């Protein structure tokens, strides 16, 4: 049985092939009722667009590249799901790669995608990325890009982010409102903007309580082992904080494990808070208080912005930065 074509849909509806094609591609000149009628029949008949033929005709690739630090990280996995949701609806496929938090690997992945002529690239940078030159070069070559979560603010590109400063500030103020005073911050790398802003939010909340936070910040990475090692360092120096505000959930879980090993009660002796709302935060005992990032929505928004650029669609934003809201998830660990 031959595949259903645009001509078949046009014939059944008494429309021109060009009208059906534009309706399927959500062209603004086509009335919404016509779009709905065409798409309903296309779904009923099992129509599938010929992506290869479309790419050859338009000289545009129908693949978009995605580079993230870690696919296994729940935040990035959810963001990728959001990206793929939009890409599928728009007739694009997704080419995935991960930097494994390594700058050189990020550059290799970026160049590979460029050489394979993807239509555009969605990126969240690694924790070891200190320069944006590799991205800037491809932008000069006309490559469309969108950054999300971890971004390069010196580039004139669209970014999908949250307000890391405000979210952190509100989170630490919640801890203070619960009576915690000696609050430590397990911070991430200074070169990552999200880590800088979360640290600044923590510092502002503490300084407003006339508490100097400078001695209560332990810098590390973004992984579980970093939280474990930071907590171990404090315990070896006989320091037990009132509470810990971690840069993300994996770091919080690492600290959580070390406290449990030591027999320290959470939250009886130490309160603990993460950032992201990974699924594991609900499964540990006690469940972990955290700041929820809308990962799926961030992925969807990034994909929409990239595909709009690729197709030349007008983007109605006041700036290149799209900021989504976070939510404090209060659980028993605080």
pLDDT at 52: 47
**Domain boundary assignment for the chain:** 6-48, 58-162+295-326, 164-292
Residue 289, SS3 per DSSP: strand
Cα 117–Cα 131–Cα 125 angle in degrees, nearest 5: 60
Q: Which token pair is 69?
A: 């630090």
Q: Which token pair is 294?
A: 């809308």
Q: Which token pair is 162?
A: 């949250």
Model confidence at 1: pLDDT above 80: no
Instruction: Say if strands 290-292 and 145-148 run parallel, antiparallel, or are unpaired.
Output: unpaired
pLDDT at 50: 60
Residue 33, SS3 per DSSP: helix
Confidence of residue 56 (pLDDT cuts 50, 70, 90): very low
pTM for the whole thing?
A: 0.80
Name the residue among 15, 14, 24, 16 with its Cα closest to residue 54. 24
Q: How far apart are CA 223 and CA 248, in angstroms?
A: 8
User: What share of the chain in percent tops pLDDT 70?
Assistant: 96
pLDDT at 259: 98
Q: May I ask the CATH architecture of the domain 58-162+295-326?
A: 3-Layer(aba) Sandwich (3.40)
Asked if residue 65 lies in contact with residue 124, where contact means CB atoms within 8 angstroms, the answer is no
Model confidence at 178: pLDDT above 50: yes
pLDDT digits (tens, 9 = 90+) for 280-322: 999 999 999 999 999 999 999 999 999 999 999 989 888 999 9
Q: In this structure, which topology does domain 164-292 adopt according to CATH?
A: Rossmann fold (3.40.50)
pLDDT digits (tens, 9 = 90+) for 223-265: 999 999 999 999 999 999 999 999 999 999 999 999 999 999 9
Locate the DSSP E strands across 152-227: 158-162, 183-187, 217-219
Name the residue among 102, 138, 105 with its Cα closest to residue 119. 138
Give the number of other CB atoms < 10 A from CB of residue 316. Answer: 6
Q: What average pLDDT does the segment 48-73 reach?
A: 73
What's the mean pLDDT when you consider all of the chain?
93
Q: Which token pair is 118?
A: 């993807």
pLDDT digits (tens, 9 = 90+) for 80-89: 999 999 999 9
pLDDT digits (tens, 9 = 90+) for 104-157: 999 999 999 998 889 999 999 999 999 999 999 999 999 999 999 999 999 999
Asked if residue 306 lies in contact with residue 285, where contact means CB atoms within 8 angstroms, the answer is no
Model confidence at 45: pLDDT above 90: no
Cis peptide before 286 (omega within 30 of 0): yes
pLDDT at 303: 98
Q: Would you tell me the crossing angle of helices 224-236 and 249-261 to the nearest 10 degrees?
A: 40
Q: Tell me if domain 58-162+295-326 and domain 164-292 are identical in fold.
A: yes
Model confidence at 27: pLDDT above 70: yes
The DSSP symbol for 214 reads: G
- CB burial readout 6-15, b (16+ within 10 A) else e: bebbbeeeeb
Residue 173, SS3 per DSSP: helix
pLDDT at 25: 79
Q: Which token pair is 191?
A: 């070169």
Confidence of residue 60 (pLDDT cuts 50, 70, 90): low
Q: Which token pair is 26?
A: 């959500």
Residue 220, SS3 per DSSP: coil
Instruction: Say if strands 243-246 and 183-187 run parallel, antiparallel, or are unpaired.
Output: parallel
Asked if residue 91 lies in contact with residue 21, where contact means CB atoms within 8 angstroms, the answer is no
Distances (CA, A) of 234 to 114, 231, 259, 298: 46, 5, 10, 35
Model confidence at 58: pLDDT above 50: no
């Amino acid at each position: 049985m031959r595949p259903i074509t645009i001509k078949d849909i046009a014939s059944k509806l008494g429309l021109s092939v060009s009208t059906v094609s534009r309706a399927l591609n959500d062209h603004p000149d086509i009335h919404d009722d016509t779009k709905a009628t065409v798409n309903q029949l296309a779904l009923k008949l099992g129509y599938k667009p010929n992506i290869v033929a479309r790419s050859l005709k338009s000289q545009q690739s129908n693949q978009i590249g995605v580079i993230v630090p870690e696919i296994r990280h729940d935040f990035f996995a959810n963001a990728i799901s959001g990206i793929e949701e939009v890409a599928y609806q728009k007739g694009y496929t997704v080419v995935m790669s991960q930097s494994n938090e390594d700058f050189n690997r990020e550059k290799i992945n970026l160049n590979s995608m460029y050489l394979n002529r993807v239509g555009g690239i969605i990126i969240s940078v690694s924790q070891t990325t200190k320069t944006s030159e590799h991205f800037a070069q491809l932008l000069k070559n006309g490559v469309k890009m969108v950054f999300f979560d971890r971004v390069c603010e010196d580039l004139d590109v669209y970014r999908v982010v949250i307000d890391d400063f405000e979210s952190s500030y509100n989170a630490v103020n919640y801890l203070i409102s619960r009576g915690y005073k000696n609050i430590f911050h397990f911070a991430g790398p200074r070169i990552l903007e999200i880590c800088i802003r979360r640290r600044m939010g923590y510092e502002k909340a503490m300084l407003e309580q006339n508490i100097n936070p400078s001695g209560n910040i332990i810098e590390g990475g973004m992984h579980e082992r970093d939280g474990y090692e930071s907590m171990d360092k404090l315990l070896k120096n006989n320091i037990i904080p009132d509470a810990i505000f971690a840069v993300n959930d994996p770091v919080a879980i690492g600290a959580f494990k070390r406290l449990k090993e030591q027999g320290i009660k959470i939250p009886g002796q130490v309160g603990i808070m993460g950032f992201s709302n990974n699924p594991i935060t609900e499964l540990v005992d006690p469940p972990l208080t955290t700041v929820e990032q809308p990962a799926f929505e961030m992925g969807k928004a990034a994909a929409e912005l990239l595909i709009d650029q690729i197709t030349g669609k007008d983007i109605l934003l006041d700036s290149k930065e799209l900021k989504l809201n976070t939510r404090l998830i209060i659980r028993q660990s605080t």
